[in-house]
Structure 1
Amino acid sequence: MDVLIVDDEPLARQRLARMLDKLDGYDLVAEAENGEAALAAICKFDPDIVLLDVRMPGEDGLSVARRIGALDDPPAVIFCTAFDQYALDAFGTEAVGYLLKPVKSEQLLEALTKAQRLNKVQRAAFSQNQTPTGNLRSHISAKTRRGVELIPLDDVRYFIADHKYVTVYHVNGEHLLDETLKELEEEFSQRFLRIHRNALVSVKHIEAIERTAQGQYQVRLSNTEMRPIVSRRHVGGLKALLKHL
């Protein structure tokens, strides 16, 4: 599991980093000293878990947690703070843990394990809801130089988001869409699976999950040479899904 530490005190970050280094299965991917740096690191590194201080210069941790929770695919948040009076507000942000400094190793491990367990439940939500509703669109509309084209969903292999734009990749090419990745995920949750913060893939066209020479995971899809990257936080859920396909 990839972890991001957010704290304005370097010594506090170093202490948490040392504790993480002694735990199997958890990797520190980045550190941040304030809210803006934390959100930038989340977008860049896509961590599974964020260890977040409450009192920081500028935007406080509670506000940062709310912004994290509003992301399409948010990591789990565990507060690490010296102040106990924020606990009620903290859980109002849907944080999965609230640890008081000085954080003890056994408490940290317990909170990390809980966060991982919740993420697995979220990732399994897709496989528990496979029954089509019958009232979904069968085509996606895309604006092209020839006007509006209808692309059959059966032809779509995956959607990729890049900043404000989403591109649909299908058997006959690729087109920009006016819809967001979140909207597509909510409407077609029975047919498309999130494998990365910026990617949804067609479940029926998944052939295998592969590992690159650089150690990244990617998905092989039928009738396309493109291989969308799978973020580490979604590898477990994808492997579990493949066992039932």
Structure 2
Amino acid sequence: MRIVVCDDEPLARERLVRIVQESGHEVVAQAMTGAEAITAVKMQQPDVILLDIRMPEMDGVRCATALNELDHPPAIIFVTAYDHYAIAAFKANAIGYLLKPANKDELLEALGKAKNLNAAQLNEIRKLEDPTARPLREHIAARTHRGVELINLKDIYYCTADQKYVKVHHKEGVVLIDDTLKELEQEFSERLFRVHRNAIINLSYLDFLETIDSGQYQVRFKGIDETLAVSRRHLPALRDKIQNM
């Protein structure tokens, strides 16, 4: 793939360039600022840009927003020393968010995702979206002891409220996030469905609805043995949803 590397720190930029080139990809341009990155992308039409966030003049999030306005935007992978920009990064359609110093394996994994979801596909997705709506995320960012973890939406079974946090139950385990169930339900309304005031489920993993004691209901999932209670309030809507799936 053709890649632009943007970082205002020369050593960090050189490290990324080395990893990219050793992996058989082509670095078509290097940039030190967001403005330089935009110019490079317009000239080189790369498949991917590796983009720092904290830079002078124009930060990486603003740069990514500008890149997304191009006719053929590159896939964006942020590489930064700061974990608290993850939410803003994915609202800017980033497909990856790596913490410095970037781990080679993680970088190659992110580049692999970029290869599967190239710039042309991203452009087609944006054409179908309401231009006034928030960009669609495919990942949910969670802060863990390992830093920022990106949980792919397709790997999430269900989410439950846990005091002021939300627990995301996914294929690799459980993480806590700051988003509320209401925010997740609104943003991913086509994929996450409310079954209880304290729970939303990924419809892709819904196996069946079953009756338990005293007329209560619960849902079972594909691939796991866990169940979730369904409240009386949300039962009719869930039944309608199942009939139309």
Q: Which has the higher contact order (CA 8 A, sep 6+)?
A: 1
TM-score (norm 2): 0.49
